[in-house]
Amino acid sequence: MSTRFRGGLTAAAGALTALVLVGHRLLPNWRGMGNTLDSGLPWLGLAVPLLALVAFARRSWLALAGVMVPAVMWAMMFGPAFVRTAATGPRDLRVVHQNVSYANDDLAATARALRATGADILVAVEVSDDPVLENGTMDPVFAREIDPGYPYRFPGNPGVAVWSRYPFDGLPRPVPGVPRSQHAVLRTPQGEVSLYAVHLASFRPAQPSVIANRNAEVKALARAVQEDPSPRIIVVGDLNTATTDRELGRLTALLSPVSEKAGTGLQFTWPAVLPAVRLDHVLTRGFTTLDSRVLPMSISDHRAILADLRVSGRRASRRDG
């Protein structure tokens, strides 16, 4: 190969990486493979330093130019996650969520850690049944650690529980088409809030039928939100849907993900030991994001998330300070 075109393969690899980054949602979602590619999209950034090493080793300006293309694309797509754009000031609501895991062998410790966050609304999924009664009631080891701090709670079956400092209207109901879900209207000092606590179907790359089931539940949840006239909506839970998954776009077209405002990175939540993807989300309408964080690892296989919110358009008063 001539000196002029040395590094052409490296440049082509860089251009292909950039095309996948930009156009991943246009690729066919055959047997859920598009969803799988979407979920791992941030990790394509690892190709940039590898290709850069090859470009420097070959001393090729062509290769280096080709590497710069995906580097710029990745920075444009994911760089804003590291720049804080959230508002400041006093909060109206603190929302905390965790998939506590059915395999959790120290529910009391997990419950204490969640209670210590000072949440106004606390959502837990994969909450076990009472191991003795096995009648759909919540494991008392978990409940008794949290209940004293919250006057209102709707548990626990099928594995989705919500604690609140504020009352709710009527009985919570599952979202049609989303079996593991609870929907209720909370009466807060700033007005009513339509709350959706959800645990969507699992995402398993090697099982297209499971992915299809998850996608169907995303559509059902998005349909419920679209039909909800409330000016203030919070969707919180384990959506089993990555931030970059094309299916999440059905919800982000209607709601704002709080994690995009915090400036604390990509906020991966699973697996807890070495998080590689964000499956747990808080999405809102009618709120301004003040903070969004992933909390330190506990015993669960998911890390907990925290979001501080203020009702949009509300001005802070001296009393708030």
From the CA atom positions of the chain, what is the Rg in Å? 22
Distance between CA atoms of 84 and 262, rounded to whole angstroms? 5
The predicted model gives 267-292 an average pLDDT of 97
Cβ proximity of 209 and 171 under 8 Å = no
- First-last CA distance in the chain: 69
Please give the backbone phi and psi of residue 114, each rounded to the nearest 5 degrees, phi first: -70, -40
pLDDT in tens, 79-101: 999 998 888 899 999 999 999 99
pLDDT in the model for residue 171: 86
How far are the Cα atoms of 178, 205, 211, 237 from residue 35, in angstroms, in the given order? 19, 8, 8, 19
The count of residues in the chain is: 321
Q: Where are the domains of the chain?
A: 7-82, 93-311
pTM exceeds 0.85: yes
The predicted model gives 97-121 an average pLDDT of 95
β partners of residue 310: 288
| For residue 273, pLDDT beyond 80 | yes
Cβ proximity of 14 and 66 under 8 Å = yes
pLDDT-based confidence at 132, cuts 50/70/90?
low
Tokens encoding 315? 């001005």
CATH code assigned to 93-311: 3.60.10.10
pLDDT in the model for residue 321: 38
If one compares 117 and 136, the residue with the highest pLDDT of the two is 117
pLDDT in tens, 177-233: 999 999 999 999 999 999 999 999 999 998 999 999 999 999 999 999 999 999 999
| For residue 3, pLDDT beyond 80 | no
Cβ proximity of 254 and 263 under 8 Å = no
Please give the backbone phi and psi of residue 317, each rounded to the nearest 5 degrees, phi first: -105, 170
pLDDT in tens, 13-48: 999 999 999 999 999 999 999 999 999 999 999 999
Cβ proximity of 239 and 280 under 8 Å = yes
